[in-house]
Amino acid sequence: MSLTNAPEVDQPEEPTNRPAPSYRIREWLSRPYARHFLVLFIIFTVVIMPAAWLVLHFMNQSGAPASAIMTDIETTIFVFTFVSAPLMAVALAILMYSLLGRDWGGRVHGEEPPMQESPAIRTNSLGVILWITATSLLAGFLVIWGLVELASITAGSYGSVPTNQQPSAVKPIDINVTGAQWVWNFQYPDQQGLQSDTLVVPNNTPLYFNVTSVDVIHSFWVVELGIKIDANPGAVTNIGVTPNKLGTFNIRCAELCGMHHAYMQTKIQVVSQADFDNWVRVMGGAKTS
Amino acid sequence: MSVMTRDIHEQAAVPQPTQHGKPGGFLRHTNIFTGVITGLVLAIITYAIGSKLVPWGTQNATFQQVGYQALIAATYVAWVIGFMAGIGAFAGPIRWVLGHDLTHADAEYMAGKGQGKFRYWKYTTDHKVVGIQYLIMTLVLFGLGGFLAMLIRTELGITWAEVFTPNFYNSMIGTHGIVMIIAMIIVISGPLGNFIMPLMIGARDMAFPRLNALSFWLLFAAVPPLVSNLLLGGIRDGWTVYEPLGSQSPVGMIGYQICIIVFAFSTGIASVNLITTAFTMRARGMSWNRVPIFVVGILSAAIMGLVWFPMFQYSQILALSDRMLATSFFNPLMGGSVWLYENLFWLLGHPEVYVVIIPGTAALIELMTVFLRKPLFSYKMAIAGFVGVTGISSIVWVHHMYMTGWAPSAGYPFMLSTELISIPFGFLVLVMLGTMWRGKPWTRLPMMAVYAVIWNKIIGGITGVYLSDVPVDQYMHGSMFVVAHFHFMLMGAGLFAAIGAIAYWFPKMTGRMLNERIASIGFWVAFFAFQLTFMSMFVAGLQGMPRRVLQFDNAFNVSNWLSTIGAYCIGIGMVIFLFAVITSWRNGKPAPANPWGAKTLEWQTSTPVPLENFPVLPVVTSDPYGYGVPDPYDSVEKKMAEADQPVGAGAR
């Protein structure tokens, strides 16, 4: 028999006077300020959460989402608003309680410093630990959500993979976008270099933009499709998107580019494949390969 | 004989410098007027001589006359040097070279002893005078920036016509932006950092009194070149003045660049001074565990400013060089990179946001303990928050460049760092909420500012989390949403905090009580109008309105009309507040030494503060947050712990 197999002697536990956690929680909940705070917290959470829908309502006013990327973006905003609501509610509940609460809150008016002092709470380990844990978890959730979503929309917009290497079933249409003070110019190299100042694209077909500028920095923003990339002089930047909704949407310049920046906008028409082929023929290009 | 006594005797035997002439010497003859006149005269002479010398016809790559640009730059430099010479900034070095060291009488003259109100117009070294000078300067800058804001909102509110020419409009948004940024950077660290911080740590003055005067008057010299840009064709490029659009702007841009270069020196000098003061001049017994939290906030802001402001300065030096010497740092036609400028700019650009917000937050944390009669909740979390924000702020700048196409992969790490910064920032929120927890607020204006600021900070913080996320930023970047977000942070959390802080320290700084009735009306009008203005702007941004435009789709009309109405009301509120400040300052009720019953050192000396602050330097034995009574619920818990069995319900 080795020593390791010796039966362990149970040490008697130190007797403790600390009440059980469940009792402590019940005791805390019996305090008026705690109850009032919790009620306010729940009310504020419920009141704030619908803001998530309100935000989407404003974003969708001009026809968005018109692509899977835009849908991803809207989902992200919706989720962020939703998970921020409890945190915002905590802060608002404390603010509101401190201003209006009768038992521990309650305002003091007057010219002289109030004689009645408040409880001298220097710190509260549990509160600090809870707060750090909650905010860290929230931040961690947002970071992970963001990273995954970024990877997803980068894949959706082909990142910086050239058109001819893309594994997509449908070959993307290359479009060269050139910003100049203060117009956008679109060139379709696959359609015999057809040029246009409005963008006409077929629905459900991947698009791949090569964006550059001839003078200053512009920013190519297709609003309802949720894509944006700067047009830099001396460099070509890329972004891709697949529109999934027929209609006419907005292209705006999102980087101050001089005098007529405000007017540097045009339209994108998402049309059916037949209409697109027709448009290409009318404009003098060749049929889509 | 102890060593101590011998040292004292030896010190007494040190030969004192001899007095040459009257105390103050050359500085007796200089003031702001001689400074301005010398500066203008030197500028005019430089322009007159220069215009005969430079080759006018030469043009650079952007078809602007190189000679003319050099001439304008030389004129601005002449103004700065002439002004600084005229106000006596060079008197000290010259005396040092001549061997006429400052005597005690000289130092007292420079601190403004016996000069009455006139000392505010001079190169005065007293930190209290510099603080007041900064305060006035800030108010003037806010007035200017606010006026431009009203003009901008007028243009955006009148949706059916162009009120201003596009170029002038672009210059206005740029000037509004940079003037407000400068004002916000100095609004706490300048007036309160200089006036209050040395008092708070129990010092007789700042560590470097003459550098203190230098930092203020450099700022004073830097502002006219900036404002003059509106007369010289403007900076048609927003406050970020991205290249190469910046090179297309006319010579007004040189005023901007000179201003930033000089202002960076001013900030650097002021930061060094604040840091040294906080580290070396604290009263006996004021260990780092007993320092008022406001000092820590000022310290973090000063460190961020000192470390990162040179980046902005370099970006402007290089841009000026591109413009005048045809170098090509940022000119892509000749191998430069537009992304280099953006990186240099945002390396300051983001820490700058925290330079603005941190001191205001610290001031509010400081004052809310007084009005809640509660100790600061978790002092150490507050320190951790300041340290964390100061540290992480240096690695988040690329989140302004997600959509530039520069290194799309950089989005991943910088999204991570940007969202991580919300954790230390959350510490500060915890400290504020914890201090507020179960406190009875004494509802004076400074305390009400705390409520206002926490609300604004929540909105600004949550929208900031949206923007830190690359996919969301792909929609939001460059839209009005961004504008609304940073106004919530800089104005909502920064300026409203500054209003609260100034209202709190007003009695100490001016010796008079602020008329809170009128000031509160102004404050609340501005606050609610602020919500209207920028909430509508969020809506415009969500609908897809780009920023920095003067005409837009009819879809954005309603939100812009509301925004404009709100902006006018902010203006009215601010004017009311300013009226309260001015009338109270002129003939308000004289303030007692400690009207709030606060425990920090600045309230323990008399009002108005004597020249050397404290008759006897204080000794500190505890931190200044000894408010409050023992928590009654603590005794309940103690009883529970002491009893053999848990006590029953009915804790009260």
Given the DSSP bridges, would you call strands A207-213 and A173-180 parallel, antiparallel or unpaired? Answer: parallel
Q: Are B453 and B366 in contact (CB under 8 A)?
A: no
Per-residue pLDDT, B329: 92
User: For residue B537, what are its two tokens?
Assistant: 């702007």
**Mean pLDDT (whole number) for B319-346:** 90
Q: Is the pLDDT of residue B556 over 90?
A: yes
Q: Which residues of A120-133 are buried (b: 16+ CB within 10 A; e: fewer)?
A: bbebeeebbeebbe
Nearest to A94 among B420, B437, B542 (CB): B437
Q: How close are the terminal C-alpha atoms of chain B, in Å?
A: 64
A200's tokens:
């006409």
pLDDT at B416: 93
pLDDT confidence of B12, banded at 50, 70, 90? low
Chain A contacts of B333, Cβ < 8 Å? Answer: 233-234
Closest residue in chain B to residue A63, using alpha carbons only: B543
Listing DSSP states for B304-340 in one string gives HHHHHHHHHHHHHHHHHHHHHH---SS-GGGT--HHH
Q: What is the reported pLDDT for B230?
A: 87
Interface list for B 622-651 with A (CB within 8 A): 627-634, 636, 640-644, 646, 649-651
Query: pLDDT per residue over B440-481, tens digit each?
Result: 888 899 999 999 999 999 999 999 999 999 999 999 999 999
Does A106 reach chain B within 8 Å, measured CB to CB? Answer: yes
pLDDT of residue B646: 47
Helices (H) and strands (E) in chain B, counts: 23, 0
Q: What whole-number distance in Å separates Cα of residue A159 and Cα of residue A153?
A: 8
**pLDDT digits over A27-86, tens only?**
888 888 889 899 999 999 999 999 999 999 999 988 889 999 999 999 999 999 989 999
Tell me the residue length of chain B: 652
* Cross-chain residue pair A88–B411, CB shorter than 8 Å: no
B483 CA to centre of own chain: 19
What is the rounded CA–CA span in Å between residue A122 and residue B229? 52
Interhelix angle for B166-189 vs B496-510, to 10°?
50
* Whether residue B643 has pLDDT greater than 60: no
Pull the structure tokens for residue B396.
């988040």
pLDDT at B58 over 60: no
- Looking at beta carbons, which residues of chain B come within 8 Å of A95? 436, 451, 454-455
pLDDT at site B650: 44
Minimum-distance CB partner of B248 among A31, A145, A258? A258
Cβ of residue B478 closer than 8 Å to a chain A Cβ: yes
Residue B110, amino acid: M
Distances (CA, A) of B602 to B202, B454, B504, B615: 7, 26, 12, 13
Q: What is the pLDDT of residue B521?
A: 95
Average pLDDT over residues B519-547: 95
E strands along B119-201, which residues? none
Residue B651 has pLDDT above 50, yes or no: no
Task: Tell me the one-letter amino acid at B131.
Answer: G
Peptide bond into A189 cis (omega under 30): no
- Chain B contact present for A245, CB below 8 A: no
pLDDT at A121: 87
Q: Which residues of chain B form CATH 1.20.210.10? A: 125-640
Average pLDDT of span B572-598: 93
CB atoms within 10 A of CB B284: 11
CA-CA distances (angstroms) from residue A244 to A65, A168, A272? Answer: 9, 16, 10
State the DSSP code for A157: T
Distances (CA, A) of A132 to A86, A140, B650: 15, 12, 31
User: What integer pLDDT is reported at residue B1 of this predicted model?
Assistant: 39
The string of pLDDT tens digits covering residues B243-262 is: 888 888 888 899 999 999 99
Q: Is B88 helix (H, G, I), strand (E, B) or coil?
A: coil
Q: What is the ipTM of this complex?
A: 0.90
Q: In angstroms, rounded to a whole number, what is the distance separating the alpha carbons of residues B336 and A158?
A: 28
Q: Which residues of A touch B627 (CB under 8 A)?
A: 117-118, 120
Query: Buried b vs exposed e over B443-463: b needs ≥16 C-beta within 10 Å?
Result: bbbbbbbbbbbbbbbbbbbbb
Of A32, A139, A219, the CB nearest to B419: A139
Terminal-residue alpha carbon distance, chain A: 84
Cβ neighbours for B259, distance < 8 A, ≥ 6 positions apart: B178, B222, B223, B225, B226
Q: How far apart are CA A48 and CA A37, in angstroms?
A: 16
Q: What is the pTM of this model?
A: 0.91
Contact with chain B for residue A86, Cβ under 8 A: no
Q: Note the pLDDT tens digit of each residue in B67-101.
A: 788 889 999 999 999 999 999 999 888 988 988 88
Block residue for tokens 């204006």: B445
Provide the 3-class DSSP secondary structure of residue A83: helix
Nearest to B69 by CA among B254, B230, B217: B254
Mark which residues 50-109 of B lie under 8 Å from A by CB: none
All residue ranges of chain A with pLDDT < 50 are 1-2, 288-289
Q: Under CATH, domain B125-640 is a member of which superfamily? A: Cytochrome c oxidase-like, subunit I domain (1.20.210.10)
Q: Tell whether A15 is within 8 A of chain B (Cβ).
A: no
pLDDT in tens, B106-164: 888 989 888 888 899 999 999 999 999 999 999 999 999 999 999 999 999 998 888 99
The values of phi and psi at residue B599, to 5°, are: -110, -5
**C-alpha to C-alpha distances, B132 to B40, B200, B499, nearest whole angstrom:** 25, 16, 15
- Optimal mutation site among B542, B559, B639, interface A, most CBs of chain A within 10 A: B542
Which residues in chain B are contacts of A63 at CB distance < 8 A?
none
Report the phi/psi class of residue B206: left, alpha or beta, with left for phi > 0 and alpha for psi in -120 to 50: beta
Contacts of B634 (CB under 8 A, 6+ apart): A119
Place of tokens 């909650």: A134
Q: Which two tokens stand for residue B175?
A: 């000037």
Of B170, B441, B474, which is closest to A226 when you measure between CB atoms? B474
d(C-alpha B128, C-alpha B206), whole Å: 10
For the segment B58-73, the average pLDDT, to the nearest whole number, is: 70
Q: Is pLDDT at B645 greater than 50 in this prediction?
A: no
pLDDT, position B16: 76
Per the structure block, which two tokens stand in for B146? Answer: 């606010």
Q: How many C-beta atoms surround the C-beta of residue B256 within 10 A?
A: 27
Which residues are CB-neighbours of B610 under 8 A, at least 6 positions away?
none
Chain A residue nearest residue B384, CA to CA? A132
Cβ <8 Å between B438 and A105: yes
Instruction: Indicate whether B303 pLDDT > 80.
Output: yes
